[in-house]
Chains A and B, each alone.
Chain A
Amino acid sequence: MTTTIRRRERPAVAPARDRGGRGLLRRLRQDWWIYLFLLPTLLGYGAYTVYPLLASWWFALLDWPGFATAGTFVGVENFERLIGDDLFWNAFWNSIVFLVFAVPLRVGLALALALVLNRKKTPFKGFFRTLFFLPVVTTGAIVGVVFTLLLDASGPVSLALVWSGLIDSPANFAAGAGTSLYAGIAVWVWKWLGITLIYWLAALQTIPQGVHEAAMIDGAGAWAEFRHVTMPLLVPFLVIITLIDTVAAFNVFDLMQTLTGGGPSFSSEVIEIFIFRTAFQATVPQLGYASAAAVLFGLLTMGFAIAQAVGMRWARGRTGAS
């Protein structure tokens, strides 16, 4: 009752912010231990994610030789230099090519494998799932080193191709200017196929068995069932799996650095290697310039993503209109 009277006494336009502020304070006082437990995570996230992210934006505006303890403010000069830097654009396009080829390959192959491994009749399903998942738990740098040996001209892949008559002379797949980037893509897809496979298997298991049975009763063949029943139900998963794999395709430093080092002649230099090379391997390391590259790459990819989303919406609208 008392509460009711007090509420009536409050001004009719009591600011929501005030209520919210009091509510927050009350929550903090009452549930303080929740926030105490959250604190280590918040501190860790702040120190290792938020701070580096914000710092890179600031660093991008500095001329900072790596040997100095601090940089000097130069405004957007680093960005102006980047625009005219052919090697930045080379790395940028290499990253885009990596993305464009690797993500559909990984998502598509994993889906095909998941369909096979999800069938009741497939033998040794557990064994094969483990087999495909094993590379996922192997360190990327180790995979890079091992594949350097497997893909060089005296390695088994080259020898097998020569023996089978598909190529005339031994080839260095990871060290050839025309093949190094694609060798990296192939190894990356192989390494991470298992995790996407798990996502797809989980997605497939959400489809009720009754739907498949109904399709069979209606006389749908395997392809028709996949196209008209399974795939439409998997579309929401396709979106999220593609997004996860796209993010992963921008994090290929360990593999590419050990497999190709970005070479030969920068043919497989993706943006992460460009940033690393500029920040740590230049005669005079340029931390500001490297940060600017990271920021600009982030902005450009964001621009691409937005343009893609707008384009898709536009295309969908046109299709709907017609």
Chain B
Amino acid sequence: MRRHQRILGSRPGAGSAGRPSMGRRQFIGGAGAAALAAALAGCTGGGQMSRESGGSSGSLQWWDQFRPLTKMLQDHLFAPYMKEHPGVTIERRQMNVPDLGQALQVGRRSNQMPDVHSLAGLGTSAAALVSQGWFQPIGKLADFQGSPVGEFLYDGMHRFDGEVSSFPLFSGRWHEAVPWFNTAMLKQAGVDPEEEPGTWDKLRDVARRLTKGTDDGVYGIVVPSKETEYLQFLVNRLAMTAGAPGGIDWATGAYAYDAQQYVDAIEFLTALQTDKVVHPASPSMGPRDARARWAAGQAGVYLWGAWFIGGLRVDEPEAVERGVGTWHIPCPETTRNVVYSPPQSGTFWVSSQSKRAKDAAQLMLQMTTREFQARLAAAMDQPPVLTDVVEEAEVHPAYRRCVANFQDDVRIAPAPEVGTPGVWQVLAEMRDIHPNLGDIVQSVLTGSTSDVAGELRRYTDAMSAERERAIKVVREEKGVEVGTEAWVFANWDRKADYDQQAYAER
């Protein structure tokens, strides 16, 4: 014991009186240590002191996932605004999509929401969040209705109870299965980039030629399969090029994942695997890993969104210098089908906890100008809502071509929540069904199942049953008037955009 006391630096014999005593100095020291410990316990994980609420700190907090926009937002939006408004400081945090979703959920429950944020990673409709009181309207704080994006504002998507809560920064005319290719590799394999593989078979042929005509360890195509969300998007788009309306047939309102086009799309991916033209490490890759492998010259073609090239320019600029090109999304036959995307939801929202809503709204309004939209296009992320600015913007020719291809390949689909406000309550009530489309594709690609049609049928039936259950719950428990007819758009024309007039004529 005595030895221990010496080791610990105590005065020998200090404890010999039977019980230790404590002097004033010791008490002050102890209390200081306790106060320090309490202060440390109050710190957040990031080393920042906790705040009472998102809007109470001196700065305007801004959270989003747009990595390619980092410099542009800072130089052309935040810096000029802070210069014009000396009392305003803007702090932006860019996070990966899953991290952002989790941070927002936790921030919401702990009253630490940023003033402005995107909805990435939350995986739900904006309407569902509006109903939970996440946002505050901004239409009276800034004139979005009269801005150049005014015509893209939809009830139930951007406008709730007549008040504007957000606006689409990006165009809805896009998809996630754009074939991006390495021009240098194509030349090495003797493939002419201008000879566009318009069909699935031609893309298979290009992938074979790339695999054979390049060095060992280089493959025709990469299909990242670790994250099922990517596979779900990819197969959905490929099925649309085969003539599928999407997961829901808007003519009948029924789920349509069991359509033959989905089976064909999955079989096309398995055919690529059988050909041994898919990068063998694809099952271990997420979409960003795949982009890095593509940039490293390990694969010739990669199907991803328009933001591919913007991300490359930030993370792997040498790959852009080496040469990158794009084609139309291939279809199974020479007859071309289009793919369908709903109107673009609002991108940024002002938190109901924010005390800087006016600054936030003014800042967001500046994003609707043609000048800002042109700069947005230059970042080469998703196409801006004013897509015509891309023609004159400083963008890579491949990005310009990609956006032009969207004009040919994509049509705006109906959105049930726009037509029937009660739909969001059903969507919010619906529980996830697993295995979903992405899970099924992953199972097929990893050899866990071969019954593609059976799995798709079970998924379709389960989704239909779950929607029925959710409709019943919201009708009976919440008194909402909504039924499956909300998903039926009898006047839907497959070849045309479903616009505001179409909703009015429905």
Q: Which positions in A face B, CB cutoff 8 Å?
A: 30-31, 33, 36-37, 39-40, 43-44, 47, 65-69, 87, 148-149, 151-155, 170, 172, 174-177, 261, 263-267, 280-286
Contacts and interface: CB of A to CB of B under 8 A. Distances in A.
Contact of A40 (B38, B280, B442): B38
B273 to A, nearest CB: 12
Interface in B431-480: 431-432, 434-435, 439, 442-443, 445-449
Nearest to B128: A67
B446 A177 contact: yes
B228 interface: yes
A172 B283 CA distance: 7
Given A175-B226, A176-B283, A265-B435, A43 B38 contact: yes
B105 A263 contact: no
Given A40-B38, A266-B439, A283-B124, A33 B30 contact: yes
Contact of B281 (A172, A261, A263): A172
Contacts of B109: 69
Interface stretch (B19-27, B83-91, B256-264, B305-313): B19-27
Contact of B443 (A65, A87, A153, A265): A265
B346 to A, nearest CB: 16
A37 B123 CA distance: 46
Contacts of B122: 67
A263 B19 contact: no
A44 to B, nearest CB: 6
Contacts of A66: 105
A152 B38 contact: no
A143 B439 CA distance: 25
B430 interface: yes
Contacts of B448: 177, 264-265, 267
Given A31-B19, A176-B446, A284 B128 contact: yes
Q: Which size class do B's interface residues fall under?
A: 35 or more
Interface of B: 19-20, 22, 26-27, 30-31, 33-34, 37-38, 41, 98, 101-102, 105, 108-109, 122-124, 128-129, 132, 134, 217, 225-228, 279-281, 283-285, 298, 428-432, 434-435, 439, 442-443, 445-449
A148 B217 CA distance: 18
A175 B22 contact: no
A263 B228 CA distance: 9
15 contacts: A36-B34, A40-B41, A67-B108, A153-B280, A153-B284, A154-B217, A172-B280, A175-B225, A175-B283, A176-B447, A264-B443, A264-B446, A264-B448, A265-B446, A283-B432
B284 A172 contact: yes
A156 B365 CA distance: 53
Contacts of A280: 98, 101-102, 105
Contacts of A175: 225-226, 283-284, 446
A181 to B, nearest CB: 13
Contacts of B27: 33
A278 to B, nearest CB: 9
B38 A65 contact: no
B98 A281 contact: yes
Contacts of A87: 434
B124 A155 contact: no
